[in-house]
Amino acid sequence: MAIGRNTQSAIFRDGAIGRLPLVPTAWAELEGRAHQAMSRRAWAYVAGSAGNESTTAANRAALDRWRIVPRVLRDVEHRDLSVELFGHRYPSPILAAPVGVLGLVRPHGDLDIARAAAALGVPYILSTQASVPMERVVAAMGHAPHWYQLYWSSSDDLVESLVSRAEASGAQAIVVTLDTHLLGWRPRDLDLGYLPFAHGEGIAQYTSDPVFARLVDERMSAAPDSPRPRITPQTIRTLVDITRNHPGAFRSNLRSRRPRASVDTFLDVFSRSSLTWENLAFLRGRTSLPILLKGVQHPDDATRAVAEGVDGIIVSNHAGRQIDDALGSLDALPGIVERVDGAIPVLFDSGVRSGADVFVAMALGATAVCVGRAYTYGLAIAGQRGAAEVLRNLIAEFDITLGLSGNARADSIPRDAVARV
Ligand SMILES: Cc1cc2nc3c(=O)[nH]c(=O)nc-3n(C[C@H](O)[C@H](O)[C@H](O)COP(=O)(O)O)c2cc1C
Ligand SMILES: O=C(O)C(=O)c1ccccc1
């Protein structure tokens, strides 16, 4: 698949022989087609945000207040889209954000997006809420780069196990998401009474984990009133196999004892609202990978992150899915970039819909940009190839915007390339 400037000519060349793109390039059409392709529940979960969804609107408004100011006559024929992060050079500043429960969008959606990202060299940040265990996703990616996103469980042992699995699987960084220690108030899901996890969807990292299996055993043996099947290593292997090969089987089996206990255990241990800065030492002591904090919005938290020796920050409000009436994520970026002052990379997400949006965030000091809903919509419309097309289009539009604005390098877009209006 052609990357960057070649994409546009490839699209037109294909068109000349009657081969049309699989996914629309404009956002409104992309979103509309994804809506048609998804079930009611999947659409509510993916497209829904917190409360009246004013934060999602604020994310857009924040991006729209910045306009690109092009420069001319600057020889931009050879452009370099690559960026360096933690000693790795990636082909463009775009990363695939961690998106949980992709199995809701498409059977084995995690594998589709993993393969799509791998084909483009786009780093994929695997979610703790994935529908497919991380080892299987990584196996589908060959040697392509991936990171791991951690939800910090109330069980230290489980945190340790997830992180060591991620490290063993070759993850290049650990992203700790801090803005979702409670599930946001999301009317679209509430009105359907539907949370995927309660149906056993999106808990594959847990059901494939040996420490989690032990927690489930403990829960089951602590309920002596109900019949207690003997748990042997074979039982555990069988459950892992069932989840791996037949996610639907796990769901239909939810009323039986072990799947039900797995869901209940997940709901118990999923997160820890008592987490503080002091806990970071625990993680630091258990991995040598770079640690990024995702969900930072206040400059003082960015200052503290640097002081605590964190390796990177992702300025994000979770696409507006957590707090209604929150600051547009891009409005938080310049203040944080100023505070961090180059000490560590500052990544950005929430609301990015185009290559031009990526350019704006980079001009405001982001080292790289993550996208979530964009590729999820491509996945819904046309699976692996749809997700790949969305990522390819973002990179191509970014490349063209870079060149047309008179810039040749993604990693050094000057601040005056954008103006606030
Ligand atoms: C359906 C959905 C599921 C998500 N699941 C996770 C997750 O498991 N972990 C996480 O850190 N962020 C999760 N996010 C947030 C994304 O990582 C990212 O911050 C956000 O989608 C960026 O905004 P955008 O969708 O406007 O690009 C999710 C977002 C969506 C839309
Ligand atoms: O839906 C989400 O955005 C998400 O990341 C999440 C993860 C776990 C529990 C609830 C929500």
Catalytic residue list: 318
Cβ neighbours for 414, distance < 8 A, ≥ 6 positions apart: 363, 407
- Contact between 309 and 276 under an 8 Å Cβ cutoff? The reply is no
Give CA–CA dist 43/36, Å, rounded: 9
Q: What is the reported pLDDT for 54?
A: 99
Give the distance (Å) from ligand 2 centre to CA of residue 183.
Answer: 6
Nearest to 334 by CA among 215, 258, 420: 420
**pLDDT one-digit tens code per residue, 105-157:** 999 999 999 999 999 999 999 999 999 999 999 999 999 999 999 999 999 99
Q: In this prediction, what percent of the chain has a pLDDT beyond 90?
A: 90
Residue whose entry in the numeric block shows the structure tokens 């609107």: 57
pLDDT average, residue stretch 14-29: 98
Task: Dig out the tokens for 244 from the structure.
Answer: 């791996």
Ligand nearest to the CA of 104: 1
Q: What is the reported pLDDT for 225?
A: 52
Confidence band of 245 (pLDDT split at 50, 70, 90): very low
pLDDT at 36 over 90: yes
Give the distance (Å) from ligand 1 centre to CA of residue 408.
Answer: 30
**pLDDT one-digit tens code per residue, 258-297:** 999 999 999 999 999 999 999 999 999 999 999 999 999 9
Q: What is the reported pLDDT for 243?
A: 55
pLDDT average, residue stretch 61-65: 98
Q: Tell me which amino acid residue 180 is.
A: T
Give CA–CA dist 100/110, Å, rounded: 9
Q: Give buried/exposed letters for 189-225 (b at 16+ CB in 10 A, else e).
A: beeeebbbbebbbbbbbbbbbebbbbbbbebbeeeee
| CA 315, chain centre distance (Å) | 13
Q: What is the reported pLDDT for 195?
A: 96
Give CA–CA dist 293/18, Å, rounded: 46
Helix (H/G/I), strand (E/B), else coil: 407: coil
> What ipTM goes with this model?
0.99
Give me the residue spans of the domains in the chain.
39-68+83-188+272-391
pLDDT at 240 over 80: no
Cβ neighbours for 335, distance < 8 A, ≥ 6 positions apart: 299
pLDDT at 234 over 50: no
Residue with the smallest CA separation from ligand 1 atom 3 is 99
**pLDDT one-digit tens code per residue, 348-400:** 999 999 999 999 999 999 999 999 999 999 999 999 999 999 999 999 999 99
294 lines ligand 1 (CB under 6 A): yes
Q: What is the reported pLDDT for 187?
A: 98
Q: Which architecture, in CATH terms, is 39-68+83-188+272-391?
A: Alpha-Beta Barrel (3.20)
Q: What is the mean pLDDT of the chain?
A: 94
Residue to substitute in 55, 150, 180 for testing ligand 2 pocket (most ligand atoms within 8 angstroms of CB): 180
Give CA–CA dist 364/66, Å, rounded: 10
Nearest to 403 by CA among 4, 91, 2, 77: 77
Ligand nearest to the CA of 349: 1
pLDDT at 233 over 60: no
Give CA–CA dist 296/216, Å, rounded: 33
Residue to substitute in 102, 104, 129 for testing ligand 2 pocket (most ligand atoms within 8 angstroms of CB): 129
Query: Taking CA 147 as the corner, what is the angle to CA 178 and CA 369, rounded to the nearest 5 degrees?
Result: 70
Q: Tell me which amino acid residue 61 is.
A: A
